[in-house]
Each structure stands twice: as C-alpha cells, then as structure tokens.
Amino acid sequence: MSLSHSHPNRPVWVPDSTVSACSRCKSSFSFELRRHHCRHCGLIFCHYCSAKSRPLLLLGYLEPVRVCDPCFEICSL
C-alpha cells in the first residue's frame, strides 16, 4: 500500500481541466481516451503513453504505480 497523497516529495499534479491532449503523443483526450497522471512527474498522459508502473520509494509509493514512458526510463537507470 502507498503512503498518503500528501507525501512531501510528490510532484504537484497538473489540473485535468488545463490539458486537452497527451503530454507525449499529443492525442486529444475524449470520452474513450482518458487522462492519466504520472505519479513521478505529475503530467497528464493517455493510457498508451503511461501504461507502465513501478514502485517510487522516494515518493512514498511502495507498490507499483502508473508512470509515463519517459519517467519509466528515468526511474530504471
């Protein structure tokens, strides 16, 4: 189980209402293509660009959580 949402190292999430397209592939969000926040960077991505997960111990996530493709690569270094 992960720690509370108010962990001091967690990024501030971009508000859903300010983003109309995926931060990576630029696909427009719709009823079928939903928004997902990356738990590592806080940006918003489509499912296809944020389908991976991993624990983020420094952010207090002990179990795997959704991360975007770029953050997945950064966190695996």
**pLDDT tier, 75 (very low <50, low <70, confident <90, very high otherwise):** confident
Predicted local distance difference test score (pLDDT) of residue 77:
63
Is CATH 3.30.40.10 the right assignment for the domain spanning 16-74?
A: yes
- Bigger pLDDT: 75 vs 63: 63
> What does pTM read for this prediction?
0.86
Predicted local distance difference test score (pLDDT) of residue 37:
97
Whether pLDDT at 3 is above 50: no
Q: Note the pLDDT tens digit of each residue in 10-59.
A: 999 999 999 999 999 999 999 999 999 999 999 999 999 999 999 999 99
Burial class (CB in 10 A: 0-12, 13-18, 19+), 15: exposed
Predicted local distance difference test score (pLDDT) of residue 4:
44
* H or E element, residue 53: strand 52-56
Cα distances from 75 to residues 7, 18, 20, 31, 62, in angstroms, run 18, 26, 26, 30, 14
